[in-house]
A and B are shown apart, each in its own frame.
Chain A
Amino acid sequence: MIKINSKNVDVFYGKKQALFNINLDIEENQVTALIGPSGCGKSTFLRCLNRMNDVIDICRVKGQIIINDFDINDKSCDVVRLREKIGMVFQKPNPFPKTIYENISYGPTIHGMAQSKNEMDEIVETSLKKAALWEEVKDRLHEPGTGLSGGQQQRLCIARAISVKPEVILMDEPCSALDPIATAQIEELIDELKKDHTIIIVTHSMAQAARVSQNTGFFHLGELIEHGSTDKIFKNPENKKTQDYITGRFG
């Protein structure tokens, strides 16, 4: 089933066009990987999906991105509700300079999801458990989140993202600042999370894309060159550029 449907998406930074006519459908409860060389626009596309490009003054987005039959680029779209439904995990772990507990309770507080302290405790616990961090931090919930290791911080950010029960989670190179062990933990987690969430992950590592994703889109110079099931893209790509990139001949 199609969760996100993007039609003719163009993105401009000032006068420079960063994305050209992107048409990409994202399957529900699957992991979609976006790959491509640096500067190809894959992160820009990811940031279109929860309108994070609004934060950048000079950035303009054209085209339609339809989620749950609703165009998120429409004027009537409430960005606060949108971002509640579509969570995001960033390249560098960015826990807030608060305690572990406050990091998780931040989203639910903003969206008024918990009526009592008990409810909030429960949300924090389930989020941390889903992010496979509970066992490591349950005795130090009121210590600063910034005191955790890099891999733990990134899982804390994932727990923060899932605390508001988003339908979609966007991940922008979530493992690029982590060591192989932490990376393996996150990848395992992604596989677990796709039961409840639709996941879109931008990655530089083709091995990672092959390991975690069911669908893959290949970007090059702001264009979506090819997309389809990960198996097909990696084993039997239609486009020459895709093949060259997959086999490491450029990029």
Chain B
Amino acid sequence: MNLILFIFIVLLGFTSYYFGRKKAYTIQSTNKRLTALPQFYGYYLAIWCAIPAFIIFSLWAIFEPTIVKLLILSDYSNQGYLDDELNLIYEKTKALSRGQFTGEITPFIEASAEKYLSLRSIAQSSKAVIVLSIIIASVAYAYKKISSNSRTREPVEKFLKAVLFTASLAAILTTVGIVFSLIFQTIDFFKVIPLFDFVFGTHWYPAKAFVRDSSEALDPTMYSDTFGAVPIFAGTFFIAFIAMCVAIPIGLMSGIYLAEYASVKVRQYAKPLIEILAGIPTVVYGFFAALTVGPFLKEIGNSMGLDVSAESALAAGGVMGIMIIPFISSLSDDVITSVPQSLRDGSYAMGATKSETIKKVIFPAALPGIVGSILLGVSRAIGETMIVVMASGLAANLTLNPLESTSTITAQIVVILIGDQAFGDPKTQAAFALGMSLFLVTLCLNIVALRVVKKYREKYE
């Protein structure tokens, strides 16, 4: 029903576009100059068709369920039901009307279900009638308003601006919403687990929290040694550090080669090839690390008499570094290429060699962009999940030995949230607290990055 109505509105929109344009042509043919191109008249009419329909649709979607619920439950008022019970009755009614109710059917609920169905159908048909009549009224009004000197271009341009604004607002509001949901859950978590224990505790063992029966009352003392985040923070930064040790030198050098040394032809093929690395799904990197690199390192280590875990920080970090190479090389290639040729010419004309020019002129000029690309790589490394889950183990060891297994924030969030979760449980909330800390870390990184870029920016012009 809704779909048919929607298709109908779209068709109406096209028709009104056609009629608006046609009217504009008619006006034009009587030798009057239009204030805008004819298609603006069409758009104008189509907007007058779509906007009222959209407003009614959304209002309806917001208010219809509430009103129907009120009407259904009005039958049960004054019978001494609690709010929770009323909600249950309403859910039963809905389930029965869909034929999905499996419990015991009482005559009361059966009557409500019938009433529910009839209310829904009344709502549907009245919605169709109201939407269509309002569309027709508004399009007719706008159609009459169109004349040789009416303004259509400005409203259409304003409408487009509003649409674009709404789109960006949606992105911002989503971010704000996510942050707030993180904040509230995190606050709940810290009501049970002291902040001090979380930030400075050295034992991370959330499996302990699994043992609790959720019907028991919370006993905070039980968690005193469970949610100490130091090992996983350390693990996160350690693995990110290993990754950057691989990614920064290789990425930067290949970026410089591509930008300054490679011939047009080599660059043409090499750049897309390197960028393919960025297109490999991280899960593929993950099993590459877990099944190829990890065992390989273990074998080498064993042959040298070292004790290497099959799931080592080195394997995860190394493979993660390879994953990050294309980000750094491609971005630094771009910033180096965008350094003006005049600076290179100036340096060559002084008798500088290529490497001197790169080291003393091009690299400083491109530094802000390069730092930016490195920090982007770091936040990728810290936020990367799949490789770590698969290749570096899930036990949160506090270690600085790259050959042992360790765990990261992201991997622990995965561990916590896999399977059944109970909301309001410290175990689940711990994931939010971790997510919040991850968010704060990347936020700080971004702020630092911006500061660095601003401070060391060397302007070309």
Binding site for B on A (CB under 8 A): 50, 52, 55, 57, 79-84, 87-88, 90, 92, 94-98, 106-107, 110-111, 144, 146, 157, 160-161, 164
Contact = CB atoms under 8 A, between A and B. Distances in A.
Contacts of B350: 83-84, 87, 106-107, 110, 160-161, 164
Contacts of B348: 52, 55, 83
A98 B458 contact: yes
Residue among B349, B352, B353, B461 with the highest chain A CB neighbour number at 10 A: B349
Given A106-B350, A107-B351, A94 B345 contact: yes
B264 A83 contact: no
Interface in B333-363: 340, 342-353, 356, 360-361
Nearest to A84: B351
A97 B349 contact: no
Given A94-B340, A94-B342, A83 B365 contact: no
5 contacts: A80-B351, A96-B360, A106-B347, A106-B361, A161-B350
Nearest to A50: B349
B353 A80 contact: yes
A98 B364 contact: yes
Nearest to B360: A106
B459 interface: yes
A87 B351 CA distance: 8
Contacts of B364: 97-98
B448 to A, nearest CB: 22
Contact of A96 (B343, B351, B353, B461): B343
A98 B264 CA distance: 30
B263 interface: yes
B349 A96 contact: no
B460 interface: yes
Contacts of B349: 50, 52, 83, 87-88, 90, 161
Contacts of A146: 458-461
Given A80-B352, A97-B364, A106-B360, 13 more contacts: A52-B348, A55-B344, A57-B263, A79-B351, A81-B351, A90-B346, A94-B346, A96-B346, A97-B361, A106-B347, A110-B351, A110-B352, A161-B350
Q: Which 6 A-B pairs have the closest CB atoms?
A: A97-B458, A83-B351, A88-B349, A94-B342, A84-B351, A107-B350
A88 B342 CA distance: 12
B351 A52 contact: no
A52 B116 CA distance: 85
Nearest to B351: A83
A97 B356 contact: no
Contact of B356 (A82, A90, A110): A110
A106 B362 CA distance: 13
A54 to B, nearest CB: 8
Given A97-B458, A106-B360, A90 B353 contact: no
Nearest to B361: A96
Contacts of A92: 342
Interface in B302-358: 340, 342-353, 356
Contacts of B351: 79-84, 107, 110-111, 164
A88 B347 CA distance: 10
Nearest to A51: B348
A59 to B, nearest CB: 13
A142 B361 CA distance: 17
Contacts of A94: 340, 342-343, 345-346
A96 B347 contact: yes
A144 B352 CA distance: 21
Contacts of B346: 90, 94-96, 157, 160
Nearest to B344: A55
B105 to A, nearest CB: 80
Interface string B176-194: 0000000000000000000
